[in-house]
Amino acid sequence: MKSIMKLIKRFVITLIFSLAALLILNIILLFTVVQPDTESSGGWKAAARVAECLSQQPDGGYELTEEGKIMLEQRGCWAVLIQDGTGDVIWHSENLPEEIQLHYSAAEISWYTRGYVADYPTTTAAKGEDLVMIGNSKESYWKDMYPAFSLNMVKNLPRTILLFLGANLAGVFLIYMVVTSGILRSVKPIVQGIQALPEGEDVYVKEKGLLSELASALNLVSEKLRYQEYELKKKDQARANWISGVSHDIRTPLSMVMGYAADIEEDAEAVEEIRQKAGIIRIQSIRMKNLVNDLNLASKLEYNMQPVKMERVNLTALLRETAVYFMNLDMDGKYPVELSSDIGGISGNSVQGDKELLKRAVSNLLLNAQIHNPAGCHIRAGLSEHSGKLCVTIEDDGIGVTEEQLRKLKETPHYMLNSGTDSNQRHGLGLLIVQQIITAHGGRVEFGHGMEKGFRVDMFLNKPEESIKIVEKEA
Amino acid sequence: MNYDYLKNKRILFVDDEEGLRQMVCSILKKEGYRQVESAGTMAQALELCASWKPEFAILDVMLPDGDGFTLFEQIKSFLDIPALFLTARGEEDDRIRGFGLGADDYVVKPFLPKELLFRIQAILRRTYKEEAPLLELAFSRVDFERAEVIRGGEHLALTAKEYAILQALGRNLGRIVTIDSLCEAAWGDNPYGYENTLMAHIRRIREKIEENPSKPVSLITVKGLGYKLIAKSR
């Protein structure tokens, strides 16, 4: 709609300018084309001139000077001098046509001087009491026989002119509106269509009327966009499926590697060295298992193929469950997990989230601590509150990270997100998953230094809207 | 506690990978399971079920001529036995629950033999518990059938809550069980808020099973996380 208003505004301005230009043009035309022809006062001046050039002779007759004669000749007209009282012509020019009478009654004078004498347009001038009348050439003038105009009309002329002007303008505008509304009707759907395109809506404009070509082009563009989007989604899905398929195929062979390695590790009759090596194989195959799991999940999250089931999740219970699972697998007790919570009461530690995904995030962090600290370390799992958000912290007192590594973690994207071709970007897939999961919950992740220079990860989650207060019960 | 009686149970393992079948069978045999058979297809498995009548089935979810769930349905029509599913993806959760099995009853590939063995034992124990003798602790024995603790000739009855808690700990012998799991076992849905009460019950259980309740050796506290029940070491 805005663009259409702009169109109308522009038209009105153009109209005003063109009217002004036309006005000026007309004035110029008036002066150059018409002016030379308007010599309406010429005949009257000539009559006056003749009157001046006539001089009375001693014998009572009149004589016209040479100047007068030349002028009459130039103008191609004749002249008479009518005596006052008698109405007789007491002098006439030499070229007087025969049909011109030599006597005029008062009535005739009135009539002829208003208009014509024998089809010659007349102009007059006074000579004393007498009248000089010139008969101009028949081609020179057209005279209005009734040259009187209503006084009212003349007085109101400015207003009348304005009225005419206004009416004309309105008429022009009306015609314009009628004509352009037809165009607008064709343009509007196209304008709307174009505006809708970036919104990702389906666009279809009827392909008829003035702008049918434009409409069909627009429809083509919309279809193309839709198709491209569909193809993109298909490609993403295909990629996620492929990754899922590959990770699936790896699992069975990995089971056998893991299984036999564990078997050898626990074989009391095997050589100690062999048992140790088998132990390493087992640990590495666990690492591969987690990599495969993480890769699968990361691709699903990345291509939005992982459904996120939101439900009420008790974070304390979740942390306990995950920590216990982790510790039950830690046969040697090298990675004791301590749970601490700053949140009092039972109501404050719930969030809306996908339980399995959140468990995965915490597990990954615990595993990370294990992988990076082969000699063992203390792990603290904490729950606290920070400026209205719930914070889950996993930190260890192990090797930790240098400032450089920390910076790299924060800035360098993982290879899945990396659109560059530098293969040196491989980085913390496990941490990437954590970020993806927490982001999918509308939260954020921060890395830093843990207790005694270890590593620390803080996950900030939003508190749910309502909080249900659960009161301690007695059994 | 002597779980030897379980090692006699007939176990069927179904997976299309020859190598995996060999490995699992050898793991089971090493652990002491005396009767283990395997099959590579649905058809083979059904044949074995009809002729050999296993008492427990471990089924791979993806088989060349069908899937583990369909196979299990067919087995159930003539054999009432428990099953453990071997899946390559964790999302089988919903389908497994739909079969009336708990979330425990599947193992994701790749797995540590320990994991598999633990699950198998847990399911077998759960299914064939009527044959189970007493749970031997350091200073007492627990009779789950009669819901009582036997200490030095004395028979001490267990309350309903104590029984539920002990049972949950007993199912996970030697492993940490979270406070939340114990609360859920004793108080069912919406167990939150019972932590202090749980502590009271644990105290009372210790008074029954331990020599010195203040220095427990059987029912251990794992600070902040949960509790662990340790059987008598042999």
pLDDT tens string B74-92? 998 998 889 999 887 656 5
- The answer to the question of residue A112 being in a domain is yes
Q: Give one DSSP letter per residue of B177-232, joined into a string.
A: EEHHHHHHHHH-SS-TT-HHHHHHHHHHHHHHH-SSTTS-SSEEEETTTEEEE-PP
Find the helix or strand (DSSP H, E) in which B4 lies.
Answer: none
- The answer to the question of residue A316 being in a domain is yes
Higher pLDDT, B28 or A118: B28
Give the end of a domain, one of A75, A100, A135.
Answer: A135
Task: Tell me which chain A residue has its CA closest to the CA of residue B193.
Answer: A472
Choose, out of A320, A322, A338, A366, the residue to mutate when testing the contact with B (most B CBs < 10 Å): A320
pLDDT cut 70: percent of chain A above it: 90
Choose, out of B192, B194, B201, B227, the residue to mutate when testing the contact with A (most A CBs < 10 Å): B192
Task: Tell me which chain B residue has its CA closest to the CA of residue A318.
Answer: B180
Q: Report the C-alpha gap between B132 and A174 in whole angstroms.
A: 101
Cβ distance A258 to B110 less than 8 Å, yes or no, reads yes
Choose, out of A255, A357, A468, the residue to mutate when testing the contact with B (most B CBs < 10 Å): A255
What pLDDT, on a 0 to 100 scale, did the predictor assign at position B94?
65
Sheet strands side by side (includes B176-178) = B176-178, B226-229, B219-222
**pLDDT band of B132, cuts 50, 70, 90:** low
Q: Which residue has the tokens 């110029």?
A: A28
> Token pair for residue B199?
């502590």
What pLDDT, on a 0 to 100 scale, did the predictor assign at position B37?
95
Work out the average pLDDT over A416-435.
Answer: 62
> Token pair for residue B169?
């700990």
- pLDDT of A471 strictly over 50: no
Q: Report the C-alpha gap between A437 and A293 in whole angstroms.
A: 14
Cβ distance A256 to B176 less than 8 Å, yes or no, reads no
- The answer to the question of residue A381 being in a domain is yes
Does A317 share its domain with A403?
Answer: yes
Cβ distance A338 to B26 less than 8 Å, yes or no, reads no
Residue A456: strand pairing partners: A395, A448
What single DSSP character describes residue B151?
A: E
Closest CA–CA distance from residue A472 to any residue of chain B (Å): 5
The minimal CB distance from B112 to the residues A258, A323, A324 is found for A258
- The answer to the question of residue A285 being in a domain is no
Cβ distance B224 to A338 less than 8 Å, yes or no, reads yes
Does A315 share its domain with A405?
Answer: yes
Does A328 share its domain with A441?
Answer: yes
Helices vs strands, H then E, count in chain B:
8, 14
- The answer to the question of residue A450 being in a domain is yes
Q: Report the C-alpha gap between B56 and B42 in whole angstroms.
A: 16
Does A82 share its domain with A14?
Answer: no
Does A34 share its domain with A52?
Answer: no
From chain B, the residues in CB contact with A252 under 8 A are 15, 17, 20, 88, 109-110
Cβ distance A262 to B112 less than 8 Å, yes or no, reads yes
The minimal CB distance from A259 to the residues B113, B161, B222 is found for B113
Q: Which of A360-364, B103-107, B169-173 has the lowest mean pLDDT?
A: B103-107
- Give chain A's domain count: 3
Closest CA–CA distance from residue B169 to any residue of chain A (Å): 13
**pLDDT band of A381, cuts 50, 70, 90:** very high
pLDDT cut 70: percent of chain B above it: 91
Cβ distance A314 to B222 less than 8 Å, yes or no, reads no
Task: Tell me which chain B residue has its CA closest to the CA of residue A267.
Answer: B30
What pLDDT, on a 0 to 100 scale, did the predictor assign at position B92?
59
Domain of residue A69 covers 42-135
Higher pLDDT, A169 or B226: B226
Cβ distance B30 to A338 less than 8 Å, yes or no, reads no
- The answer to the question of residue A65 being in a domain is yes
From chain A, the residues in CB contact with B193 under 8 A are 346, 470-473
Does A128 share its domain with A9?
Answer: no
Closest CA–CA distance from residue A324 to any residue of chain B (Å): 6
From chain B, the residues in CB contact with A317 under 8 A are 178, 180, 192
Q: Report the C-alpha gap between A448 and B55 in whole angstroms.
A: 53
From chain A, the residues in CB contact with B222 under 8 A are 324, 327
- The answer to the question of residue A2 being in a domain is yes
Task: Tell me which chain A residue has its CA closest to the CA of residue B16.
Answer: A252
pLDDT tens by residue, A443-464: 899 988 888 888 899 999 988 7
Q: Report the C-alpha gap between A64 and A80 in whole angstroms.
A: 11
- The answer to the question of residue A326 being in a domain is yes
CATH superfamily of B4-130: Response regulator (3.40.50.2300)
Q: Report the C-alpha gap between A139 and A122 in whole angstroms.
A: 12
**pLDDT band of A3, cuts 50, 70, 90:** low
Q: What is the mean pLDDT of chain A?
A: 82
**pLDDT band of B109, cuts 50, 70, 90:** confident
Choose, out of B225, B227, B228, the residue to mutate when testing the contact with A (most A CBs < 10 Å): B225
What pLDDT, on a 0 to 100 scale, did the predictor assign at position A423?
45
Cβ-based interface (< 8 Å): residues of B facing A? 15, 17, 19-20, 23-24, 26-27, 30, 88-90, 93, 109-114, 161, 175-181, 186-187, 190, 192-194, 196-197, 200-201, 222-226
Find the helix or strand (DSSP H, E) in which B24 lies.
Answer: helix B18-31
Work out the average pLDDT over B183-199.
Answer: 83
Residue range B135-229, CATH number = 1.10.10.10
* CATH number of the CATH domain containing A442: 3.30.565.10
Residue B39: strand pairing partners: B14
What pLDDT, on a 0 to 100 scale, did the predictor assign at position A426?
44
From chain B, the residues in CB contact with A314 under 8 A are 180, 192
**pLDDT band of B93, cuts 50, 70, 90:** low
Cβ distance A263 to B26 less than 8 Å, yes or no, reads yes
- pLDDT of A127 strictly over 60: yes
Q: Which of A114-118, A391-395, B44-48 has the lowest mean pLDDT?
A: A114-118
**Single-letter residue type at A450:** G
Helices A212-265 and A272-302, axial angle in degrees (round to 10): 160
What pLDDT, on a 0 to 100 scale, did the predictor assign at position A261?
93
Work out the average pLDDT over A1-6.
Answer: 72
**pLDDT band of A425, cuts 50, 70, 90:** very low
What pLDDT, on a 0 to 100 scale, did the predictor assign at position A470?
42
Cβ distance B109 to A251 less than 8 Å, yes or no, reads yes
pLDDT tens by residue, A189-218: 888 888 888 887 777 877 777 778 888 888
